[in-house]
Amino acid sequence: MIARLTTVVGWRVAAATAAGVVVALALSALLIAATGGSPSGALEALYRGSVADQTAWTSTLLFTAPLLLVAVGACVSARSGYFNIGQEGQVLIGALAGAWVALRLAVAGPILLILTLAFAALAAGAWAGLSALMHRLRGVNVVVSTLLMTFLAQQLVAFAVNQSWFLQESRVGDAVASPQSNQVPVGARLTSFGEYPNLQLNLGLFIAIAAAVLIAVAMARTRWGFRLTMLGLNPVTAKHAGVRVAALGGLALAISGAFAGLAGAVLLTSPVGTNRLQPGMSINIGWDGLLVALVARNRPLLAMPVALFFGVLRSGGGFLAATGVPSFLVDVVKSLLVLAFVAPPVVVSLWRRRSVPEGVPA
Amino acid sequence: MISDVETILSSGVRLTAPLAFAACGEYLAERAGTLNISVEAMMLGAAFGSIATASATGSATTGLLAGVLIGVVIGWIHGNLSHRAEINTFVVGLVLNALALGLTSYLITTSTFEGHQVWQVSIPVLRDIPLIGQPFFVERWPVYLLLVLIPLTWWLVERSRWGLELRAVGENPQAADVTGIRVNKRRRQALLWCGALAGLGGAYLAVGEVGSFNQNMTAGRGYIVIAAVIFGAWRLGRTLLGCLVFGLADAMRLALPALGITLNSQLLVAAPYLLALLAMLVFSTQHREPRALGQPFERRST
């Protein structure tokens, strides 16, 4: 499919995408108007909550970092053909492992942060690796197992924060402990740089950008990247060319899981959340990160602006709720926009294929 | 004791019914080679549509039909995007699930609907049988549709010519194509059937069981349905048995605290997914799953 996409004439795709975006936005505006809201008011709220000032930018960039991390991982697994859709659970596993390290290890600040991030990535990588193992040993469908394991991860986190011996918040006096963990210590939190009056650039964002660049270079320039792409395009050819299919595909799954886990640790240790392990803390970052990779057509560098755009929608969506328009609207707009970005290349290629007479090779 | 068992069985049957409808549809779609994860969107969209329609028309039965229609529309969209435009079918499913969740959550917060429920059928004589009488013979009427739809689905897949072609498409699309079967058309048709049944399941949840719509009221039932088909190793009987096991486990989770029995609730919620994974590991399902499951079919020009 990748090969075919690149052969499609660019301007047709661009025009179709632009038309799709216009349709998506028009549908959204229609929806707001039909339910008694003001489309222009909603748009203004989205703008003000996401990019209008430095505080808004801070929030947007905080969401962008975990989205980009998940997306970079999703690019790797999608390229290899070992399609991972369990990021939402892997984010949680990363946060769980990170919280355990951050709350249980007594080491100095920066080392604790590094250990937290590393352990989160390892744990989630191993979690995703289980799917690869099940595929290798018993031929279990990877898409199915990563999907099912997402629900196991959700229950595992719910279990962890409900057991006082595990990660449940410790009681202070007679206070009832809540189903969440204690706050991770300050030493294990990602710092912000650049004290421009209100703009904070979180370290998580730099980690995510570095990951995107690293993976982009590795996929484009290394032998590993070439083999990965070959595996995704044609596993049979890859096997004949001497690629150890199961090992390479399993590694791709583990890497995608590790990046999702890192995103979970970033959610845990950056001010985007409460710095506590909570059952709902993945806030659909896993699902959305997968969509980011999809819109970016599995290219890590392209995922950077797309993740930023999704960050804008999230951050603006939070602000939208304050104006009386339910923030669920953002999920609708987001899904419609994803369709607008994804459908045009394939629709255009379909149209082109139809216009070629029968029997003539396209 | 007897009445406790009866209560659990009763709520178990009611929790199983929506799963069973959707599982029939998902089973057929997967036999045709589409691992359809938008079944959650079909159920949720139908649940919302049925209450909205019932509220507008004052008829719960019209609402039920509207739910079926919405399921079919989502199936049609999914089929066209994944088997005509050839966008990755899992991705299409994810987007549709996100869209259905967002749209229904948005609409339910901006509008209000009256509650409606379809009528209950209580079968004389049979309802007086101890233990199974109340759970099985006093139900809202759509439940009895299962008695028709289950054999119909089985016959469609296993005995009809269309079903034979469907299975061929799921096992070996290239070979099916060579014999003149239009692979992607069959898959789109299977998704329409899946949409109709998943829509019925979702609508039953809203206008049958609950009588109103709550945000995200399907709460992952669509994914449990997928787990049931896997648990059932792509056989209809075992799939429905899986639905019953999951429905009963859900009923137990709700009933046990009242009975003073403490079982870990997270484990019970996780049970369907855990069982499905174990079933795949133990029974080595790769010999039973449709061989082209989840794989797109593209006609080669060579």
Q: What is the pLDDT of residue B88?
A: 85
**Alpha helices (H) along A139-202:** 142-160
Look up the ipTM and state it. 0.88
Q: What is the pLDDT of residue A223?
A: 92
Q: What is the pLDDT of residue B29?
A: 97
Burial label, A149 (beta-carbon count in 10 A; 0-12, 13-18, 19+): buried
Please indicate, yes or no, if residue B75 is contained in any of the structural domains.
yes
List the single residue in B with minimal CA-CA distance to A294: B91
Please indicate, yes or no, if residue B204 is contained in any of the structural domains.
yes
Q: Do B273 and A1 touch (CB under 8 A)?
A: no
Mutation choice for A interface testing from B39, B89, B90 by most A CBs within 10 A: B90
Q: CA nearest B106: which of B98, B114, B96, B115?
A: B98
Q: E strand or H helix at A17, and its extent?
A: helix A10-34
| Mean pLDDT, each 10-residue run in order, chain A (362 residues) | 51 84 91 86 89 90 97 95 94 97 88 96 97 90 92 95 89 82 90 77 94 96 92 87 88 97 96 91 93 92 96 89 83 90 74 57 43
Given a contact cutoff of 8 angstroms between Cβ atoms, the answer to whether B42 and B198 are in contact is yes
What would the 3-class secondary structure string for chain B be? CHHHHHHHHHHHHHHHHHHHHHHHHHHHHHHCCCCCCCHHHHHHHHHHHHHHHHHHHCCHHHHHHHHHHHHHHHHHHHHHHHHCCCCCHHHHHHHHHHHHHHHHHHHHHHCCCCCCCCCEEECCCHHHCCCCHHHHHEEECHHHHHHHHHHHHHHHHHCCHHHHHHHHHHHCHHHHHHCCCCHHHHHHHHHHHHHHHHHHHHHHHHHHHHCCCCCCCCCCHHHHHHHHHHHCCCCHHHHHHHHHHHHHHHHHHHHHHHHCCCCCHHHHHHHHHHHHHHHHHHCCHHHCCCCCCCCCCCCCCC
Q: Which of B94, B264, B274 sits opposite A290 (nearest CB)?
A: B94
Q: What is the pLDDT of residue B287?
A: 62
Q: What is the pLDDT of residue A250?
A: 95
Q: E strand or H helix at B186, and its extent?
A: helix B183-203
Q: Do A36 and B110 touch (CB under 8 A)?
A: yes
Range of the domain at B150: 16-226
- Give residue B261's identity as a one-letter amino acid code: I
The mean of the pLDDT values for chain B is 90
pTM as predicted: 0.90
Neighbouring C-beta atoms of residue B299, cutoff 10 Å: 12
Q: What is the pLDDT of residue A362?
A: 41
Q: What is the pLDDT of residue A360?
A: 44
Please indicate, yes or no, if residue B89 is contained in any of the structural domains.
yes
Q: Do B106 and A31 touch (CB under 8 A)?
A: yes
Q: What is the pLDDT of residue A324?
A: 77
pLDDT, tens digit (0-9, with 9 covering 90-100), for B186-208: 999 999 999 999 999 999 999 99
**Alpha helices (H) along A190-282:** 203-221, 223-233, 235-240, 245-269
Chain B nearest-CA distance from A211, in A, is: 23
Residues on chain B touching A290 (C-beta within 8 angstroms): 91, 94
List the single residue in B with minimal CA-CA distance to A131: B277
Please indicate, yes or no, if residue B302 is contained in any of the structural domains.
no
- Better-scored residue on pLDDT, B230 or A97: A97
Q: What is the pLDDT of residue B285?
A: 56
Q: Do B267 and A334 touch (CB under 8 A)?
A: no
Q: Which of B88, B107, B230 sits opposite A144 (nearest CB)?
A: B230
What is the domain count for chain B?
A: 1
Given a contact cutoff of 8 angstroms between Cβ atoms, the answer to whether A186 and A179 are in contact is no
Q: Which of B88, B293, B301 sits opposite A141 (nearest CB)?
A: B293
Q: Do B270 and A138 touch (CB under 8 A)?
A: no
E strand spans, B35-181 = 120-122, 138-140
Neighbouring C-beta atoms of residue A8, cutoff 10 Å: 18
Residues on chain A touching B274 (C-beta within 8 angstroms): 152
Q: What is the pLDDT of residue A358?
A: 45
Size of interface A-B (CB pairs under 8 A): 139
Entry field: residues in chain B: 302
Q: Do A291 and B98 touch (CB under 8 A)?
A: yes
B5-33 mean pLDDT: 94
**Tokens 């890590």 found at:** A300
Question: Considering Cα of A144, then A150, then A153, then A155, what sign does the dihedral take?
Answer: negative
Q: Do B276 and A326 touch (CB under 8 A)?
A: no
Percent of chain B predicted with pLDDT > 90? 60
Residues on chain A touching B95 (C-beta within 8 angstroms): 291, 335, 338-339, 342
Separation CA A211–CA A66 (nearest Å): 11
Q: Do A326 and B87 touch (CB under 8 A)?
A: no
List the single residue in A with minimal CA-CA distance to B291: A141
Please indicate, yes or no, if residue B51 is contained in any of the structural domains.
yes
Mutation choice for A interface testing from B30, B89, B95 by most A CBs within 10 A: B95
Note the Cα A75 to chain centre separation in Å.
Answer: 10
Chain A nearest-CA distance from B121, in A, is: 36
